[in-house]
Amino acid sequence: MTSTSVQRAAAGASITNGVFVADGYGLRVAVDKRHLIVSDGMGRQRRETRFARVGHGLRRLVIFGHSGTISLEALRWLDRVGVSFVHLDKDGRLLAASTQPGLDDARLRRAQAVAAGTDVGLSLTVDLLDAKLAGQASVARSHLRRDHVWSDIEALRAKLRSVDDIGRAREIEATAAAIYFTAWPGHVALTWARNDLPRIPEHWRAFTGRRSPLSTGSATRAADPINALLNYMYALAEIECRRACLMLGLDPGLGFLHVDAKGRDSLALDLIETVRPAIEAFVLDLADGHVFRFTDFVERDDGHCRILPPLTHRLAESLPQWEAVVAPWAEHIAHRLADASGRAVRKRTPLTSALRRAAAVDGSQGRRKFATARTTVRENASALKPSLGAACVACGTPLSRRQRSYCQACWQVTQRAAGIAGSQSARSQLTEPNGRSVRGTAIREGKLRARDERARSAGFAPNAWDQHIGPSVRALSLDELRRAIGISTTQASRIRMGSQIPDPKYWTALATAAAARLDRLNPERSTEP
């Protein structure tokens, strides 16, 4: 942020996957000179971002918080350029959402209303649950490495295809979910920043089960971060499922698998069953590859675990991914209902553009068409990879470069600690005995004992060199030493300096040479009786 009270950002700033996230206090979304103005932040750390009608790059405008305003003109601006508006509370609960008016055909909704309890409703339920079980089996094999879970779920899929009652389909789905989530405990845990490990509660360190101890028989109130991540991502996917229903002219509240209930979008919940394995693979990849911080979550007074900004913002940027997964299934439901309608209902594909692209290929005789990010359908859960960016393994601070493991501050601390550890290791190698030093000492002691034995064999005491022979020999010149025992000048120099002790077999010759030198220097010594 700049030092001024407002930061002005160019169009396209802070947009990931076409999603712009705004939060803080005193939010303002308005239109000025045909530009959309989004002001967010708090205190002196505020920003103001402008978006033009052309080249804005927006697909979703997501707002977190409850303090601020959005003008009617801004809502009209978003509608005209095809941008969806999503308003989430601080805890991730959906408060409001808008989407472009989709197909409006009462005959399709009539077919949807009467399909529940019929063979059409059962067939659609089996299709959705089969996609869910296939995804769970894939995740069990690819992420959890549990082949036996994969085989058990595949066996349940075979039974699901032959059911003739929705109640039996629900039982098979519940059995598969129980088998699937029993493979998670002991194998799924978040990666925490090392500096935060002392602050992490024990029940946050690993996944223990999908059922929450805070709500009997339910997982809606998470007690640990992994379940909080799953619940939040499910809520984001539900937004896309509801939007897909509205775009296709379906009623989000009339479902097949989920029974009708007040204030519940049953069809959106039916659709989310196809997205759940992709979300679970996404969370497993996050647990394995992203470094989380203690400040990414909060535990309320009742033990309820919630996700905090900015992690909520970065996760919200995955909305287009869930749109890509749910789009073909939403269109599949609409087309099946159109077939079941007693009146002609036109089939359309506004979410995937599948019919338009197929017609373009037929009309161009196979000319290559490049799918855009909006129309690309990723049905394989493993294709949805988290993109939260790299983080410091010590403190969890986001990094600008993925190749790094530490931020600048933690890198300096780590280097300093590594230098201290290296110095201590070097000192310990000098002071503490190890295998090499013990072996070297034994070799030296063995050589000294062998030399003492050879000295005794030559008629000398072991300490004769140090006390008598050595001092007199050091007075000889290099030439005298070389001639006395036939050695090189280098060896003679070492003997004179005392760095080398010759073998005891040479002591007699060296003592004789030293005595002869004394006789030459002191002739009177040689004539004494």
pLDDT of residue 8: 45
Segment 398-415 mean pLDDT = 77
What is the Cα–Cα distance from 12 to 237, expressed in whole angstroms? 24
Residue 70 is classified by DSSP as E
Mean pLDDT of 506-522: 81
Cα–Cα nearest to 212, from 227, 194, 199, 200: 227
The mean per-residue pLDDT over the stretch 89-97 comes to 80
CB atoms within 10 A of CB 280: 25
Q: What is the pLDDT of residues 464-490, one digit of tens each?
A: 888 778 888 888 888 888 888 888 888
Kindly compute the dihedral angle of the four CA atoms of residues 134, 136, 137, 139, in this order, to the nearest 10 degrees: 120
| Rounded-to-integer distance, Cα 248 and Cα 329, Å | 11
Whether the Cβ atoms of residue 491 and residue 462 lie closer than 8 Å to each other: no
Report the alpha-carbon distance of residue 81 to residue 201 in Å, rounded: 46
Give whole-number Cα distances, 422 to 415, 417, 510, in Å. 10, 9, 48
Mean pLDDT value of segment 395-405: 74
Higher pLDDT, 95 or 402: 95
Which H or E element spans position 306?
A: strand 305-307
- Angstrom CA distances, 264 to 186, 251, 270, stand at 34, 11, 11
- pLDDT for res 371: 39
Tell me the average pLDDT of the chain. 83
pLDDT class of 385 with cuts at 50, 70, 90: low
Task: State how beta strands 305-307 and 297-299 pair.
Answer: antiparallel
Percent of the chain with pLDDT over 90: 42
Q: Which residue has the higher pLDDT, 314 or 408?
A: 314
Task: Identify which has the larger pLDDT, 506 or 373.
Answer: 506
For range 303-324, the mean pLDDT? 89
DSSP string of 177-240?
HHHHHTTSTTT--PEEPGGGGGGS-GGGSS---SS-TTSTT--SS-SSHHHHHHHHHHHHHHHH
Task: Tell me 506's DSSP state.
Answer: G
Within 65-115, residue ranges assigned H as helices are 72-81, 106-115
The full 3-state SS of 2-51, as one line of letters, equals: CCCCEEEECCCCCCECCEEEECECCEEEEEECCEEEEEEEECCEEEEEEE
Residue 18 contacts residue 318 (beta carbons within 8 Å): no
Number of alpha carbons in the 13 Å side-chain half-sphere of residue 505: 3
Q: What mean pLDDT do residues 8-19 have?
A: 61
Task: Return the percent helix, strand and coil in the chain, to nearest 5.
Answer: 50, 10, 40
Express as a percent the part of the chain with pLDDT over 70. Answer: 87
CA distances to 325, 334, 348, 355 from 358, in Å = 19, 18, 12, 5
- Evaluate if residue 14 carries a pLDDT over 80: no
Task: Report which of 249, 246, 239, 271 is spatially closest to residue 258, judged by C-alpha positions.
Answer: 271
Type and span of the H or E element at 84: strand 84-88
CA-to-CA separations, 505 to 51, 116, 453, 464, 511, in angstroms, rounded: 98, 111, 11, 13, 11
For residues 514, 515, 518 and 519, what is the CA-based torsion angle, rounded to 10 degrees?
A: -140
Structure tokens at 398: 């986001």
Chain segment 335-344, per-residue pLDDT in tens: 999 999 888 8
pTM, to two decimals: 0.72
pLDDT of residue 190: 93
Q: Which residue has the higher pLDDT, 111 or 425?
A: 111
E strand or H helix at 88, and its extent? strand 84-88
CA–CA distances in Å: residue 19 to residues 13, 67, 340 = 10, 21, 37
> What letter does residue 468 receive in the DSSP assignment?
I
Q: What is the pLDDT of residue 2?
A: 40
Question: For residue 148, what are its two tokens?
Answer: 């036996």
CA 256 → CA 133, 198, 234, 326, 327, distances in Å?
Answer: 17, 48, 19, 16, 18
